Amino acid sequence: MKYRSAFEIIGPVMIGPSSSHTAGAARIGRMARTLFGKAPTKAVISLYGSFAKTYKGHGTDVAIVGGILDFDTFDERIPSSLKLAEEAGITIEFTIETAVTDHPNTVRIKLYDAINELELVGISIGGGTIEIIELNSFQLKLSGEYPAILVVHQDQYGVISSVTNILANYQLNIGHMEVSRKEKGNMAMMVIEVDQKFDSKVIKEIGKLPNIIQTIRMVD
């Protein structure tokens, strides 16, 4: 495995014993919270592989829940996150899965409230580095390392170029981009990581385009 920087080996500033099992887990949980857009009323957390075997000893359980509560990796409240979630009225359920996955540190998180639902699959690949590999059954690759835009849209010609033209107008350079669709001509998702932070007006402008269903802005 290739690392982009020494910080991926050393790991982030964090609460907990393991960069992959604790810091990475917290980042996946927090990514789920960011994509959901608010605190859920219920979270179902399914653990696979190494996560399933060592989740209590390495604090993976409290880390994921801490992330769902929007705590960063170094937040001293993480060890108390299960209690804090209960006090906030959030129901937490853990399931231990035996299915074999492509990566040993895999978690599936489902977040709910009275109206909305989100399902996300993330992997912790070392040094606190993560990847989101599935979102609401769309296959994708989202690292959380760079400012990103997620665009859910109808799979129609011209939509991608319309979005990228707006980014060009704001002089935003695309570092990574991919498009996933469930079925030709149906619904699709763009994942765009850019090199610079951007204003919410970019998202508003994209949202006004034809055939755009939803836009999500992810900026640290």
Q: Closest Cα partner for 41 from 113, 107, 100? A: 113
The total of structural domains in the chain comes to 2
Which residues lie below 8 Å from residue 168, measured CB to CB, with a gap of 6+? Answer: none
Single pTM value for the model: 0.81
pLDDT tens column, 173-217: 999 999 998 888 899 999 999 999 999 999 999 999 999 999 998
Residue 82 lies in domain:
7-142
Domain annotation covers residue 178: yes
Pair 14, 119 in one domain: yes
Pair 115, 195 in one domain: no
Pair 78, 157 in one domain: no
| Least confident among 5-14, 59-68, 194-203 | 5-14
So what's the pLDDT on residue 4? 43
CATH of the domain at 20: 3.30.1330.90
Pair 80, 128 in one domain: yes
Q: Closest Cα partner for 86 from 117, 65, 70? A: 65
Pair 26, 131 in one domain: yes
DSSP E strand boundaries for 58-173: 91-96, 105-112, 117-126, 129-135, 138-142, 148-154
Query: Does the pLDDT at position 15 exceed 60?
Result: no
Q: How many helices (H) and strands (E) does the chain have?
A: 7, 10
